[in-house]
């Protein structure tokens, strides 16, 4: 069922508000998908972004979509075909590094709520004019970090963000303390060595620590 931009932003805002950190996951082996998702959800991070950067990504989404308590989305959506494949695999939302009319049209038509990316005031204003007020700020650190996002937010208080790109335990609170930030995207909660080693207990611990960042605004 088609959705509007406003409906999409309402849903992505709800998803972003589930926890202060949204894991950004690059998973090479679909066999790791379910235990990884279970560890992250058990640690307090239910909203999961699986990036479409590996051959296994769609299979990973299919597996993670079956984990109770998890809300699985597809990241790195670039084309309408990406959006359609993600939705078919069971993704409940999408995340994009930027935004094109073709991608937004496709997501609205197939009913896939999208968190579109913006790095400048002009990009954010263009998305706001279309009806999107929950955006991804990307690449966060390379675009000036928390000070830049705070500055963009001053004249655009009606827009909220999920900063992603260079966010770490060391700087996450600087983002999460901003009034225009709902959550932040981070990959450190599922480091490749722990995933490859199947150390789900350690990943659950990292997730639990991340779930307490920012004082849970």
In a domain, 117, yes or no: yes
- Which residues are catalytically annotated? 49, 136
Model confidence pLDDT, tens digit, residues 33-69: 999 999 999 999 999 999 999 999 999 999 999 999 9
Angle subtended at Cα 42 by Cα 207 and Cα 202, rounded to the nearest 5 degrees: 50
Show the domain range for 186: 5-211
In a domain, 216, yes or no: no
In a domain, 84, yes or no: yes
Q: Which residues on adjacent β-strands are paired with residue 48?
A: 72
pLDDT grade for 217, boundaries at 50, 70 and 90: very low
In a domain, 51, yes or no: yes
- What's residue 216's pLDDT? 53
Best CA proximity match to 33, nearest among 215, 195, 210: 195
Model confidence pLDDT, tens digit, residues 95-132: 999 999 999 999 999 999 999 999 999 999 999 999 99
Model confidence at 164: pLDDT above 60: yes
In a domain, 217, yes or no: no
Best CA proximity match to 75, nearest among 211, 190, 208, 158: 190
pLDDT grade for 1, boundaries at 50, 70 and 90: very high
Best CA proximity match to 62, nearest among 94, 39, 78, 85: 85
In a domain, 124, yes or no: yes
In a domain, 103, yes or no: yes
Model confidence at 193: pLDDT above 90: yes
pLDDT grade for 215, boundaries at 50, 70 and 90: confident
CA 72 to CA 179: how far, in whole Å? 25
User: pTM of the entire structure?
Assistant: 0.97
CA 82 to CA 50: how far, in whole Å? 12
Q: What's the token pair of residue 2?
A: 């088609």
- Identify the CATH number of the domain in which residue 50 sits: 3.20.20.70
| Number of domains making up the chain | 1
pLDDT grade for 177, boundaries at 50, 70 and 90: very high
In a domain, 123, yes or no: yes
């Amino acid at each position: 069922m088609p959705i509007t931009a406003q409906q999409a932003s309402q849903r992505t805002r709800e998803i972003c508000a589930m926890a202060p950190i949204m894991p950004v996951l690059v998973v090479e082996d679909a066999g790791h998908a379910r235990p990884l998702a279970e560890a992250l959800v058990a640690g307090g991070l239910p909203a999961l972004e699986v990036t479409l950067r590996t051959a296994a990504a769609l299979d990973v989404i299919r597996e993670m979509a079956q984990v109770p308590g998890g809300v699985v989305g597809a990241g790195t959506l670039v084309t309408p075909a990406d959006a359609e494949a993600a939705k078919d695999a069971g993704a409940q939302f999408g995340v994009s590094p930027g935004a094109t009319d073709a991608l937004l049209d496709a997501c609205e038509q197939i009913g896939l709520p999208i968190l579109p990316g913006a790095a400048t005031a002009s990009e954010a204003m263009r998305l706001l004019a279309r009806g999107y007020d929950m955006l991804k700020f990307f690449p966060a650190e390379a675009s000036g970090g928390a000070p830049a996002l705070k500055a963009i937010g001053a004249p655009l208080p009606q827009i909220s963000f999920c900063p992603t790109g260079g966010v770490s335990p060391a700087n996450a609170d600087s983002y999460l303390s901003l009034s225009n930030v709902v959550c932040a995207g981070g990959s450190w909660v599922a480091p490749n060595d722990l995933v490859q080693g199947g150390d789900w207990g350690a990943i659950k611990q990292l997730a639990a620590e991340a779930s307490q960042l920012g004082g849970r605004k």
